[in-house]
Structure 1
């Protein structure tokens, strides 16, 4: 992948040239077969196996004492995730260790 030396936009190939993808810029430069050969592409790469661990008893998450609103169990897996703007606190998510009901707890 090449980026424009003038504006930083991604460039595309047109024949023997790299042409800036930003039509207002208009920058182009000749292609270099030797440097292109060193570029990494996704073509020809081996596919990796996706392993589903959703049914694993231990989801790799820590557990805590928390009341499940669905089955009244008192233990849940938990994790935190930023789902709002960066200046607000993270949201805590819980997954019941018994029924796998998922709920969240927000700071207000």
Structure 2
């Protein structure tokens, strides 16, 4: 996994480094650890689905999945409201 460090991407396994580029093209959500970054732009590439926002009750949200627990646990679904941009997550129970 590549982590951002002082304007450079660094691979935790092999030590490969690469400049990070323009920081304005990345979004870090509240639930991410420092160094976990999702690339974004004005026009999002994330898929959209029916989901009720807990903040504004809008019925559409962008979503993505991320492995945040051990490998034998299911992925966590993250949602971003397409209206107010509130972010929340949904774990499998």
Name the TM-score, length of structure 2 as normaliser: 0.59
Report the Cα distance in structure 1 between the residues aligned to 2:89 and 2:59, rounded to whole angstroms. Answer: 15
Which residue of structure 2 lines up, in the alignment, with residue 61 of structure 1?
Answer: 46
- Of 78, 85, 88 in structure 2, the residue corresponding to residue 93 of structure 1 is 78
Q: Relative to 1, partners in 2 of residues 1:70 and 1:48: Cα closer, same or farther, differing over 3 Å?
A: closer
Q: Relative to 1, partners in 2 of residues 1:62 and 1:49: Cα closer, same or farther, differing over 3 Å?
A: same
User: Shift of residue 56 of structure 1?
Assistant: 4.2
Q: Which stretches in structure 2 are left out of the alignment for 5+ residues?
A: 1-15, 28-39
Q: Relative to 1, partners in 2 of residues 1:98 and 1:105: Cα closer, same or farther, differing over 3 Å?
A: same
More strand by percentage: 2
Name the TM-score, length of structure 1 as normaliser: 0.52
CA RMSD of aligned residues (A): 2.5
Per chain length, whose mean CA-contact separation is higher, i.e. which structure has more relative contact order (CA < 8 Å, sep 6+)? 2
Task: Report the number of matched residues.
Answer: 65
1:75 aligns with 2:60: yes
Structure showing greater radius of gyration is 1
User: Shift of residue 57 of structure 1?
Assistant: 4.5
